[in-house]
Structure 1
Amino acid sequence: MRQLSFPTLLAGLVAVLVGYASSAAIIWQAAAAAGASAQQIAGWMTALGIAMGVSTLGLSLWYRAPVLTAWSTPGAALLATSLQGVTMNEAIGVFIFASALIVLCGVTGLFARLMKLIPHSLAAAMLAGILLRFGLDAFATLPANALLCGVMLIAWLIAKAIAPRYAIVATLVAGLAICLVTGQFHPSQADITPALPGFTLPHFTLQSLLGIGLPFFLVTMASQNAPGVATLKASGYQVPVSPLMTVTGLIALVMAPFGVFSVCIAAITAAICQSPDAHPDKHKRWLAAAAAGGFYLLAGVFGGAITALMTALPLAWIQMLAGLALLSTIGGSLQQALTHETERDAAIVTFLITASGITLGGIGSAFWGLIGGGICYAVLGMARGWRK
C-alpha cells in the first residue's frame, strides 16, 4: 500500500515499542504474583500481543480512525500487588469478571453517556497531563546520558527544520547509531521460540471478585478507557464509544483464560499514531494504528522474549524517543485546552491534577483530574450565569 509511508509505519512501531517498554515488566510481575511459571507468563505475553493486534487492526480498519488498544497498565500494577496468595484459576476468574462488567458498560451505553459530559477542553487538558511525564522524562535523561540524548535531540531538531515528517526517523537512527558505537546495545540471549498460550480454567470466589475484580474494573475504566476515549476525542476523532467498550470487552472476555487480563482503548501510545508526525492527513493516520496492530501481532509471536528484548536498548533511548515523538501532541493538547478563556481555569486544574500522578482509592490521576476540572467547570459556569 503506497499510502503506508515509512514515517507512518514508524509511528506504529514506536507506539508498540513504548507500550511494551513501559509496562511489560509490570505484567510479568502481576502474572508472577498469581503463581504463573515462566512458560505460562510467556504464553500470557503471546495472548496479549494477539489480542491487541486483532483488536487494533479490526477497529482501525472498521472505523478508518487511529484506534489503538492496549492492556491496562494501572490495572496490571493493581494486580501485581493484589494477586499475592491468589491462585491462577482465581486470577482468571477476576479477569473474566472485570471484562464482563466492561461489556455491560458498552452494551448499556452507560460509559458513552458519561463521556459525552466531558468538555473538549478538559479532555485535551487531561491528555496533556498524561503525556507531560513522557516529555519531562525525555529531558531528565540528558545529564546522565548527554551523548546519546544530545545526539538524538540534535538529530530531531535538524530533521524537524528540514524534513519534519522524518524527524522521529532521524531521531531513532541517530540513537541506534550511538548505542552501537558506545556499546550500549546489548542483544538479548533469550529464546525467541514462540510460546503457545495455555488455557486456565477459571475459579470464582466472592472474596476475589469483590476484593480484586471490582477495583480492577474501576481502575481499568477510570485510568485507561476514559483517557483512551478522551484522547480520541481530543485528537478530533468521533468514534462511537459503546461499540469500542463492547468489542474490547468481548475480546478480553474470550481470551481471559489464556492470560489476557484486559483489552482497553490506548491513550499514551495512541497519541503517537494520532499525531501529525504519523501522517499529515488526519484521515490517513489510521494507517499508523493499523501498522501498530501488525507489530502487536509480531510481538505476540515472540511473546516469550519480549521483556528480554526490551533490555537490549538503554532506557534513556526509549524515553527520549517517546518524549520527542509526543511533543507535537503535548503542544496541540495544551493549545486546545487553553483556547477558550472561560474554560481555561478548569482546564488548568485538570492538567495539573493529571500531571501530578496522584492515586486516590487505587484510581489514577487522570480520573481525578477530570473530576477536579469538572467541578471547577460546573461551579465557574454557574457563577457566570448568576452574574448575568
Structure 2
Amino acid sequence: MPTLIKDCSLSAVIAGLIATMISYAGPLVLIFHAAEAAGLSHDQLSSWVWAVSLGSAVLGAVLSLHYRVPVVIAWSIPGSALLVSALPQLGLEQAVGAYLLANLILLAIGLSGAFDRLIARLPGAIAAGMQAGILFSFGIEVFRALPVQPLLVAAMFVSYVAMRRLQPRYAVAAVLLVGALVTVASGQFRSEALVVALASPQLVSPQFSLSALFSLALPLVLVALTGQFMPGMAVLRSAGYRTPASPLISASAIGGILLAPFGCHGLNLAAVTASLCTGREAHEDPRRRYIAALSGSALYLLLGIAGATLMALFAAFPAALIAALAGLALYGAISEALSRSLAEPTERDAGLFTFLVSASGVSFLGLSAAFWGLLFGLVAHGLLRLRKPQPGAALRRDN
C-alpha cells in the first residue's frame, strides 16, 4: 500500500479516468445496437453492461498490480460489431454458448505460449506503425467535430496546446475541464437526461450448436487475437513494456468464461485506450503509469454498477466534446508511435506501410485493418531484408 500511494499521481489518475470514459463513449454504442437488434430486455442489456464492466475492472486492476504495468482490459470492440448481425439470428442462449467456446479456445492459445513467440518476432517499427494507424482516426475526429461545435472544439484545442507548453502532464485534464466548462456555460449540458439506476445481473443458460461455433465463436477468437490482443501488445511493446502476452490472454479468457453466462461477449487487451495510460501524459516514469490503469478500473466498476446512469451521463454532454477529448488525449501517443515507426532507416518503409494500412480502416475477409497493416508491414519487412545478389555470384556458381 505505501508503494501504491507513493506511485500515485494526478496525471495518471486523470489519464485512466479519461481512458475509461472513451471506452464507454463509443464502443458501448455497439452493444446497445446489438441488444436492440436482438430484442433484448432492459434487464438483459443492463446485465451485459455490468458483466463487461466488472470483468474489465477486476482483470485490469489485478494484472496491473501484479506486473506493475498499465494493463488495460476492455470488451471486444470487433466482437461487439459481429453481434449486431449474429445475435438476432442465434438468440442470447446460443450466443452465450458461443462466448464460452470462444474463451475456451483463447485459454488454450494462452496456455500454449504460441502468441508470445509471435509477439517476440514483431519488429518495433511495425508495432509502432500499427499503434499509430489505429489511433489515427481518433486524432482526425477533433477537426471533424470543429464545424459542429466550433467554440467548444477550438477552446479545447487551444487549452491543449497551451498546457503542452506549460504543464504537459496536465494537458488532458485541462482539456476535459475546459470542455465541461464551455458545455455548461453555453447551456448545452442536458441535466434532464441524468438518471440514477443500478444494474441487475441476469443469469443465462448457454446452448451449444455447430452453427454458433462456426458463425460466432470462431470469428470471436479471430477478431480478439487480430483486432485486440495483437494491437494491444503492440502498444505495450512500443511503450517499452515486456509483459508476456500469454498470461494476459489466459486471464482474459478465464474472466470471459466466468462472466459469459451474464452476457459478457469477451474481455480483451485494449489498444486505443491503453495508449492513454502507457504514454508520457500519464507519467514521465514508466514504472508509475500502472496507476492510470488502476484508476480506469475503478471507474469501470462504478459505471458498471451504476447501470443506466452510465448512458445518461454521456447523453448529457455533446458528442463533439467526447470526440475532441479522445483525439486530443491521444495526440501524444500518435506522435510518439509515428516517430518510432519511422526512426530506423532500415525499417522505415515497413513501419510506414503498417501505419497506412492500419489507418485506412479497411476490413477484408472479416479481418480488421490492424491485421492487414501487420501483414503488409511484415511482408515489406521480409522483402526489404532479402539479401541482394552479389555481382558475379551467378558466374561463380557456374564455374
Give the alignment's TM-score, normalised by structure 2. Answer: 0.94
> Are 1:46 and 1:304, in contact at CA under 8 Å, matched by a contact in 2?
no
Cross-structure match for 1:335: 339
> Are 1:106 and 1:243, in contact at CA under 8 Å, matched by a contact in 2?
yes
Aligned partner of 1:167: which letter? A
Match of 2:76 among 72, 77, 81: 72
Aligned partner of 2:175: which letter? T
Question: Which SS does the other structure have where 2:89 is aligned?
Answer: coil
For 2:184 and 2:193, how far apart are their aligned partners in 1?
17
What is the aligned residue count? 388
For 1:344 and 1:200, how far apart are their aligned partners in 2?
50
For 1:158 and 1:235, how far apart are their aligned partners in 2?
25
Cross-structure match for 1:237: 241
CA displacement 1:253-312 (0-9 Å, x = unmatched): 111001111110000000001111111111100011111111111111112332232111
Distance 1:125 1:177, change over 3 A: same
Aligned partner of 1:184: which letter? Q
Match of 2:376 among 372, 376, 385: 372
Deviation at 1:359, TM superposition (A): 0.3
- Runs (4+) of structure 1 moved beyond 3 Å? 32-35, 188-191, 383-388
Match of 1:27 among 24, 27, 31: 31
Cross-structure match for 1:194: 198
1:249-288 matches, cutoff 5 A: 249-288=253-292
Cross-structure match for 1:348: 352
Aligned partner of 1:286: which letter? Y
Q: Are residue 125 (structure 1) and residue 129 (structure 2) matched?
A: yes
> Are 1:184 and 1:313, in contact at CA under 8 Å, matched by a contact in 2?
yes
Question: Which SS does the other structure have where 1:339 is aligned?
Answer: coil
Deviation at 1:2, TM superposition (A): 4.8
CA displacement 1:181-239 (0-9 Å, x = unmatched): 11221135454221121110000010111122111211121111111111111111100
Cross-structure match for 1:161: 165
Question: Which SS does the other structure have where 1:70 is aligned?
Answer: strand
Cross-structure match for 1:102: 106
Cross-structure match for 1:10: 14
Cross-structure match for 2:397: none
Deviation at 1:58, TM superposition (A): 0.3
Aligned partner of 1:204: which letter? F
Deviation at 1:385, TM superposition (A): 7.5
Aligned partner of 1:72: which letter? S
Deviation at 1:74, TM superposition (A): 0.9
CA displacement 1:63-109 (0-9 Å, x = unmatched): 00000001111110011122222221101011111111111110111
Give the alignment's TM-score, normalised by structure 1. Answer: 0.97
Stretches of structure 1 that go unaligned for 5 or more consecutive residues are none
Distance 1:188 1:336, change over 3 A: farther
Cross-structure match for 1:302: 306
My pick for the range that moved more, 209-218 or 353-362, is 209-218
Q: Are residue 381 (structure 1) and residue 355 (structure 2) matched?
A: no
For 1:303 and 1:386, how far apart are their aligned partners in 2?
67
> Are 1:168 and 1:325, in contact at CA under 8 Å, matched by a contact in 2?
yes
Aligned partner of 1:323: which letter? G
For 2:183 and 2:292, how far apart are their aligned partners in 1?
26
CA RMSD of aligned residues (A): 1.5
Cross-structure match for 1:92: 96
Match of 1:114 among 110, 115, 118: 118
> Are 1:95 and 1:262, in contact at CA under 8 Å, matched by a contact in 2?
yes
For 1:327 and 1:377, how far apart are their aligned partners in 2?
27
Distance 1:147 1:191, change over 3 A: closer
> Are 1:43 and 1:304, in contact at CA under 8 Å, matched by a contact in 2?
no
Cross-structure match for 2:396: none
> Are 1:33 and 1:85, in contact at CA under 8 Å, matched by a contact in 2?
no
Question: Which SS does the other structure have where 1:84 is aligned?
Answer: helix
Stretches of structure 2 that go unaligned for 5 or more consecutive residues are 394-399
Cross-structure match for 1:313: 317
Question: Which SS does the other structure have where 1:311 is aligned?
Answer: helix
For 1:43 and 1:32, how far apart are their aligned partners in 2?
14
Question: Which SS does the other structure have where 2:385 is aligned?
Answer: helix
Query: Percent of aligned positions with the same letter in both sequences?
Result: 37
> Are 2:43 and 2:202, in contact at CA under 8 Å, matched by a contact in 1?
no
> Are 1:188 and 1:311, in contact at CA under 8 Å, matched by a contact in 2?
no
Deviation at 1:140, TM superposition (A): 1.9
My pick for the range that moved more, 289-298 or 82-91, is 82-91
Distance 1:104 1:168, change over 3 A: same
